[in-house]
């Protein structure tokens, strides 16, 4: 995929908000959060919001790295592998209480949710999204 900066940002927001929102709603009840359901949802949706918010900064970094590529594209393996640094940073922020407010997430539920969400979004990005948004690949990922 060859992204423009606006395309990256719009794609990040749309996919994580829509697919992430649905997925988080579905799996939160079965995650080992050790919290009541209401509190669990608060934690998981805080995580999702952080993936999107921090993701906007990550996208800026990716766009900068993309400039070093002659093809100005972003190989699919990069999209998949980006989950490692993004997941680690988020976990460090939450686990060390460096984040601005307390998100009491357990390690297992964090990695289960983050990992499954990342793989799901990557899988959708790798093909099925083109079925519904037929122009997106010609617009650098932009939807608007």
Partner 1 sequence: MSDAGPAERTGELTQALLDSSVWSEQMLAQAGIPIVDSPLVSIGGGLGSFALIDHLRICGVGIESLRVLTPLSTPWESFGYLTRVSQVALGDRLRSDSSSCPDNIWGFPSYAVREAVAADTVRGFVTPLWQVLTEPVAAERYTPRLGQVLEALAREHVRIRYQQMVAAGQVRMVRRRVDGGYFTILTTPEWAKAAKRIAFRSGYVHLAVGYAGLKFLPDLQIYRESTRNSSRVVNAYEPHEHVYDQLRRRPGTVMVRGSGIVASRVLQRLIDERNNHGLQTRVVHILGEYIAASHGPRFRRRHGGDGFAYQAFDEPKAVWGGQLRDRARAAEGHERVQFFDSLGGSSSPYRKHWQAKLATARTEGWYSTVVGQVDALDPGADDLISARVRTGDSVLMAEASFVIDCTGLESDIGEQRILADLLRHSGAGRNPLGRLDVAPSFEVRGTRNGKGRLYASGAATHGGYLPGVDTFLGLQIAAQEIADDLATEGFCRRLGPWGSGRQWLRWATNTVI
Q: Applying CB under 8 A, which residues contact partner 1?
A: 1-5, 7, 66-68, 70-73, 75-78, 80, 127-128, 130-135, 137-140
CB of 7 to partner 1, least distance (A): 8
Rounded Cα distance between 99 and 101, Å, is 6
The smaller minimum CB distance to partner 1, of residues 36 and 132, is found at 132
- Does residue 34 come out as left (phi exceeding 0), alpha (psi in the -120 to 50 range) or beta? left
Rounded Cα distance between 15 and 101, Å, is 25
The smaller minimum CB distance to partner 1, of residues 38 and 127, is found at 127
CB of 81 to partner 1, least distance (A): 9
The smaller minimum CB distance to partner 1, of residues 115 and 128, is found at 128
CB of 88 to partner 1, least distance (A): 20
Beta strands (DSSP E) in the chain are none
Say whether 52 sits in a helix, a strand or coil.
helix
The smaller minimum CB distance to partner 1, of residues 76 and 107, is found at 76
Rounded Cα distance between 72 and 27, Å, is 36
Q: Residue 70's Cα: distance from chain center in Å?
A: 26
Say whether 6 sits in a helix, a strand or coil.
helix
CB of 119 to partner 1, least distance (A): 13
């Amino acid at each position: 995929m060859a992204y423009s900066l606006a395309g990256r940002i719009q794609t990040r927001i749309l996919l994580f908000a829509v697919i992430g929102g649905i997925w988080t709603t579905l799996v939160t009840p079965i995650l080992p959060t050790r919290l009541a359901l209401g509190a669990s949802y608060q934690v998981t949706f805080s995580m999702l919001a952080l993936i999107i918010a921090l993701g906007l900064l990550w996208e800026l970094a990716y766009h900068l790295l993309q400039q070093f590529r002659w093809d100005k594209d972003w190989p699919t393996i990069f999209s998949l592998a980006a989950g490692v640094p993004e997941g680690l940073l988020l976990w460090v922020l939450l686990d060390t209480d460096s984040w601005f407010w307390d998100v009491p997430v357990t390690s297992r539920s964090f990695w289960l949710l983050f990992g499954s969400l990342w793989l799901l979004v990557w899988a959708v990005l790798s093909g099925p999204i083109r079925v519904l948004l037929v122009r997106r690949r010609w617009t650098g990922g932009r939807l608007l």
